[in-house]
Structure formats: C-alpha cells, structure tokens
Amino acid sequence: MSAITLESSLATFSRRFEVSAKLTERGKEVIPGGYSRNSFNFGPHAIYVESGDGAYISTVEGHRLLDLNNNFTVNVLGHNHPAVQRALRESIETGVSFGNPVALETELAQLLVDRMPSIERVQFSCSASESCMSAVRVARAFTGRTKIAKFEGGYHGFTDPLQVSWHPDHDGDCGPDDAPKAIPDSEGIPAEDVANVVVLTQNDREGTERILRAHASEIACVILELESASGGVVTLEQDYVESLRELTSELGIVLIFDETVTLRAGYQGMQGDYGVAPDLTVMGKIIGGGFPLGAVGGSAEIMSVLESGLVSISGTHHGHKIALAAGISTMRELTQGAFDRLNGMATRVMEELNDWSNQRGSSFAVYGKGISHLAYGFMREPGLSIRTHRDYWRNFDGTGTQICSLELANRGFFPVARGDFSLSLPMSDDDITAFIETTKEIVSGIES
C-alpha cells in the first residue's frame, strides 16, 4: 500500500466532491470567496450539503458523511431531532417575528439561570459574537475602565475590539512568550481598538499576574475560553483558572467566561467542571438549537447596568421567537444523562486513539479536556503537548493534519478541516468504532 500524501488526498477529494467545486465557482460570481464563511473551506473548497438526518449529512454529490463538524459544535442533537422539529412547527404556526416580547424568552432565560449557579440575569442577542460585545460593554460600564484582556489564540467573534491576536502571524513580531503583543487579525481594525487590548498567555500564572497588576486600573475585563475552540484547542489548567478568579476579584476586573462552545461540556457548562464562577458568561451555539441565538448572563449586580439603562443594547431579532423555541427544546433534551453519554463517547475516542498512537510511537494525538468537542492532529514529534497557543503553532504539523482531514472526508466522515470535531447524541457505538478504526487506517497510511 502506497503512502497517503497531500497530493493523493487532494486528487481523491476533487473527484469525490466535484459538484461542490462547481457550486463554489458559481458562488464566487456573487459572493466573495463563494460563500459567507471562509471557515467552511475544506482544502480547495467547501463541501456543499443537501440534507441532514440524525448523525449524518448528505452532500450534493450524494455522499453520506458522519457529521463530526455539527455546524462547528452547534448540532449537539444531530439533525432533524423530533423534539426540536415539533417545537418549531408549533411556534411557526402562531407567527414568526414580532416587535413584542414572547414568553419563550423568559422560559429559556429561567432554564439557563437554573442550570448555571453564576447566572442570575440573562440577555439575548442573535449570536455569541454579539453577546461577547455585550459582555465587554457591560464590564466597561460596571468598572468605568476601558481596556480588555484576552488570551492569544482566543476567539470571541469577529468584532474589531476582540479580533486581536486570535491567529497572529508567528513569523512576525508577536512579542515574547510571557508578554504577547496585541496584533489585529484583519485589516480594517482601528489602531485604537488594538491599543485597548491586553494580551495574555494561557496557563502562564506568573506572566498573567504581572500584566494584570501592571494594567489593573485600566482593565475592565478578562475574557477567555476555558478551552479554546478555534485557535488551537488549548485547555486552561485548574490551578490557573482558580488563581485568575482570585486575582480578578482582588483587582476589581470583571471575569468573563466565553462558553459558546464549552457549554456542551456538561450540565453547568465547563465552569461547572472547574467549580469556578465567573462574573459574566457568554453563551451561544447549542442554546439556539440550530438557530442564531446568543446570550450573556451574570450576577444581578453586574447585569443591573442593563436594567437601569446605563448600558443600551438592542437588536431587531434579539430574543427571536423561533430561535427561543428551538433552544428550549434542545436544552431540555440535554439532561445529565445526555452529557454523560456525549462525554463517554469522547473519552472512548481519546483513550483508544491515544493508546494506539503511543504504542506505535506515532506523533498523532487526540487532545482536549475530554468533552464532546476534541481535536486531532500530528505533532512535529511524539510526546509534544499544547499548553499555550504558541505551543500549537510550534508543535503542530499542519500538513499532516490537513491530509488526515481530507482523508476522513474522502472516507465518509466530516470533521472541521483544521482538525477539531464534535460529537452528537444520535451517534451510535458503531459510528464511534468506525471513526476510530478509519482514523487508525489513515494515520498508518500517512506514516508508512
């Protein structure tokens, strides 16, 4: 058997998804790049989908793929879940969009408050990106300070103040490891927005304390993912999170957990796993049941700046009826037993593939905290770990991982192209077995 190469994988991909290639070219005539999210790119182009049911999607070419992307972790119940479909039909029948509040908004807010001990009040928006903006504005109003502290590699939406040092060019001037430089991730971001961002390094307790103390009188908030989702999956360590909570409390800095992805970690999100309560929590993805919905929640004291009118945040579709209906039905399905099953599948994937890889001395690894959103990839050599975003860019073999992703798609699996994946409740034990065994075949072929 010949070794699997990038060239051979791309050739198979191009043949297998040729209709998607044509649709991409057609899209470029009216949409920059062919589609509105370049994160869809999977090698040379996106894979277009025709339909989805349960744990699977069907492409425009007629291929059936196990969906390990799940709209970048959104579809925790898979596709066409009967409870969600029923809620949607009932909601649509009584009208779609109003200039009035609906009782569903209070119902979903109460559900989130009941689950999350750190949350007493909730405000909805159309996306987690918007709710990150809202959280920052609330923090600034509450503290009277302006600057934002965030982590290198952390993603909190594409807004100007937050799309800083998400994917910095590591060949450029990024600053030292313990004092990263704030770098805009896109043209069009004003220099004054970049100047208001203080960048931290994950799991660097000494460096974090030094930076936060130096800027304490200016920093309104620290916003973070307990496990980063798109800048390389970097998990914060327990003692680091605990020390950050103590430090921000001492310095009067609002601590914001962005649980857009990690809310699927457990019944109380990933903060429940750590046992650390933030001041504000950003939520999204699963809370909308497949529809656009974001939320920021926190203590009544901090959220009072919204109720008093000191902070104004409003949008036409905030608290949209259809998204609320889908979100309520989804969250009701996510019982403790559901999370146990999701994380049990994740543990199995992680343990079986890593045990196999270690036994053969492979540089391939599955990594993350062990929730139903994980990452896979080749390291530059066996045994390397990822504790910071810089570890990711230094230790991660992007080419080998790209080959693995292409081959998974070629063989009936649809992960995120960059090497992360999420599980859904409709997945069966046979689905998980097939993914594990196919991944072993691919890794063996790449390393042969």
- Residues involved in catalysis: 155, 258, 285
List the one residue out of 308, 335, 328 whose CA is nearest residue 102. 328
Q: 80 in helix, strand or coil?
A: coil
- Do 149 and 142 form a contact (C-beta atoms < 8 A)? no
Strands 197-200 and 219-224: unpaired
- Do 334 and 193 form a contact (C-beta atoms < 8 A)? no
Neighbours of 79 (CB within 10 A): 22
220 φ, ψ to 5°?
-80, -40
DSSP state of 151: E
Alpha helices by DSSP H, listed for 125-219, are 128-143, 191-195, 205-214
Neighbours of 183 (CB within 10 A): 20
**Rounded-to-integer distance, Cα 290 and Cα 55, Å:** 14
Give 363's contacts (C-beta < 8 A, 6+ positions apart): 357, 378, 379, 380, 381, 382, 384, 397, 400
**Rounded-to-integer distance, Cα 411 and Cα 300, Å:** 50
Q: 415-426 in b/e burial notation, b at 16+ Cβ within 10 A? A: bbbbbbbbbbbb
- Do 283 and 251 form a contact (C-beta atoms < 8 A)? no
Dihedral sign for Cα atoms in the order 69, 71, 76, 80: negative
**Rounded-to-integer distance, Cα 99 and Cα 384, Å:** 54
List the one residue out of 447, 446, 432, 448 whose CA is nearest residue 66. 432
Give 215's contacts (C-beta < 8 A, 6+ positions apart): 147, 149, 198
CA-based end-to-end distance of the chain: 9
List the one residue out of 219, 249, 198, 252 whose CA is nearest residue 145. 219
